[in-house]
Structures are given as C-alpha cells and as structure tokens.
Amino acid sequence: MPTNNITEEEIAEFFKKEENFLLLCHTRPDGDTLGSALALKRGLEAMGKRAKLFCAQEPFANTEFLFGEEEWPAFDKEEEDGDGTVVSVDVASEGLLGSLEGVFGGTVKLKIDHHETGDDFAEYNFTDPSAAACGEVIYRILKRLGVPLADAAEPLYAAISSDTGGFRYSNTTAQTHRIAAELLDAGADNAFIDHMLYENRTQGEIRALTAAYGSMRFFLDGQVAAVTITNDDKRRLNLREEDLGEISSITREIRGVQVGITLRQEKLDASRFKLSVRSEPGFPANELCAIFGGGGHPCAAGAELSAANGKVALATVLKHLADGGEEGVKIV
C-alpha cells in the first residue's frame, strides 16, 4: 500500500513554487494517465508555467483526439527540456514508466496516483485510492490552484470516463458524477468524448476482438472466462500491439462471469505472458495478480508470468483460482 507524505494543499504549493515541469505517464497509456497529465499541463500553462508530457509509448488511436499541436507526449528528454521538476501521473510503480524508467528513474519529485497498490518511488508521494480516476485528483488540485477548468475539462472528463468504463464500474461514486457535471459545465462535450473513446475502433481492433472472442474459454461453472492471444494469432491476423488494448474488458460483458482473465504472449519474448484480470466486486483481481508480482485495482489488475505456451500460462493462473485452494484466491 503506497503511503502519502504530502497533502493536496502542499501539492498546490509545490506547483506554485516551481516553473518547469516534466509530466510522466505510464506505459500502455490509457485515457486516465494521458487525460490527467494533459489537464495538468494545460492548468500549469494557464498559470504561466512550462510543462511537457512524456510517455514510453504513443497514445492509442482512441485518445489521439485529446492532443493539440505541440502536446503529443515525448519518448525521451531533450536538452531544451532543461531541469524540469519531474511529476508522475497515474503511475503506480516506477516499472510502469516503461522505457522512461531509464530516463527518469530515481528523479521523480512528485507522484500523483490513485492505485491501491504501488511503490513510493518519488520524493513526495500522494495516492488517493478512493478516487475512481487520477483525473479526480488532478481536478481537485486544479481547483485548489484556482485555474479555470475550460482547457482542462475535456482531458479530465476523458480521464474519468476511461477509468470508470464510461461511469459503469463500481469505482464510480456520487463524487465522480459531481466532478463530471462540473466538467460538462466547463465545456466538456460528453457525447463527443465518449464516442471518440468507445465507438472509434480501428479494423485492427475489430480483428483483435474477433480473435479474443474466438479464443474464449469458460471455467468453474462459467464464473471464469479466459482469453488468450498468442504471437501466432498476431501474425495470422496482422495484429499490432495497439490493436489489443480493448480485449481485456470483453469478459465483463458476459452473464455469470466473476473473473475475466486475458493472457497475451509477449512479442519479443515468447516465454512471457501479460496477464490482465477483470472482476466483479467481491473477487480481488489485484490479489490474484500480486501472486505473479503484479498489482492494480480490486476489479482490474495486471501482471506478467513465464510459461512455455498459452495453455500452460492459462493453467498456471487457473491453479490459483481453485475454489478454496490454500494458495488460491477464492471466488465468492
């Protein structure tokens, strides 16, 4: 469990004091990390400060619309970036910086996050696990700073919508809706943003979803659904990594499924598999992932494991789901 050694009030003071910020997103960037960092950048710029976004990977197609010219995240630090104050946004642990860890590892001054599990890798660490999205925390900080929300409303709404699955997940609170309402008042076009986020699939993503549905298997009386995407599938269907972004959420759509498991073979190391777990309230997805050294939220978590092939990887995960098994995580 990450600990806090700075308050929101002190974070506001922190942003007032410094002039130049380098804002880091997590790898495999989602709408929350990108939207939160972009909103923070625009808020800081409204205060006359400089801020630049960094991410180990290009944003996926469905979040491209958020970025204006000159706002696209950079992969690497340039000389002109200078001695900026490094702030991470929605990054639970330093490893989630991906290749940025090599550039910024050990230099993060302030970590702003909302994940229940993670490391205190920054000098100042702030995590609010009650926030549905990091965007909620950034919203409160911008309010404290007295920044007008107009330019930040769209990315903040996208951040919150992304991490709540369009306000459908159990992390959505009355406060989430109150913040969203204020963002609409400030000019966020909810229908447009949600259309861009959720109804904007590429043909590659559709091919990935077809493969995911085709590979789906059910276990434990239909309480567990599992999807496996191998490198063979990727070659056969010409799938790029960015086409696979949505496949881990499809198990949520199925009646009776408590736990959804998605396994994706690593392109560069066929013996490694990325595990995503999505669950209904009552099953701790993060505890299952913690067995493999990963983490995340109770209803959405991830990890990596080694296995000879997809079948072995799935069997390894299922072993820890045995109902009541001593080392397993119990399905209630």
Tokens of 290: 């913690």
Rounded to the nearest whole angstrom, what is the least distance from the CB of residue 138 to Mn ion in the complex?
A: 11
Kindly list the distances between the CA atom of residue 312 and the CA atoms of 211, 228, 303, in Å, as whole numbers in the listed order: 19, 11, 16
**What tokens were used for 69?**
């010219």
The candidate with the shortest Cα–Cα distance to 278, out of 296, 266, 293, 264, is: 296
Closer CB to Mn ion, residue 133 or residue 275?
A: 133
Q: SS3 for 232?
A: helix
Pick between residue 113 and residue 233 the one whose CB is nearest to Mn ion: 113
73 Cβ partners below 8 Å, 6+ apart?
25, 29, 34, 37, 53, 54, 55, 58, 59
39 residue type, one letter:
A
Q: Are 157 and 21 in contact (CB under 8 A)?
A: no
Q: Provide the minimum distance between the beta carbon of 133 and Mn ion in the complex, in angstroms, as a whole number.
A: 5
Binding site for Mn ion (CB under 5 A): 32, 90, 134, 163
CB of 89 to Mn ion, least distance (A): 9
What proportions of the chain, in percent to the nearest 5, are helix, strand and coil? 40, 15, 40
Q: In angstroms, what is the minimal distance from the CB of 99 to Mn ion?
A: 20
* Rounded Cα–Cα distance for residues 47 and 217 (Å): 52
Quick one: 131 or 224, whose CB is closer to Mn ion? 131
Q: Minimal distance in Å, beta carbon 134 to Mn ion?
A: 5
| Inter-CA distances, 290 with 132, 261, 275, 302, Å | 21, 14, 11, 8
Beta bridge partners of 111: 88, 125
The smaller minimum CB distance to Mn ion, of residues 159 and 244, is found at 159
Q: Which amino acid belongs to residue 196?
A: M
Q: Which is nearer to Mn ion, 137 or 317 (CB)?
A: 137
Q: What span, in angstroms and rounded, lies between the C-alpha atoms of 258 and 198?
A: 23
Q: How far apart are CA 237 and CA 205, in angstroms?
A: 11
Spatial separation of the C-alpha atoms in residues 256 and 86, rounded to whole Å: 44
**Closest CB to Mn ion among 36 and 258?**
36
Nearer to Mn ion, 171 or 215 (CB): 171
Question: What's the closest the beta carbon of residue 109 comes to Mn ion, in angstroms?
Answer: 20
Residues 209 and 247 sit within 8 Å (Cβ to Cβ): yes
Q: By C-alpha distance, which of 86, 129, 95, 119 is closest to 26?
A: 95
State the residue number with the nearest CB to Mn ion.
32
Minimal distance, residue 90 CB to Mn ion, in Å: 4
Nearer to Mn ion among residue 31 and residue 284 (C-beta):
31
Q: How far is the CB of 115 from Mn ion (least distance, A)?
A: 7
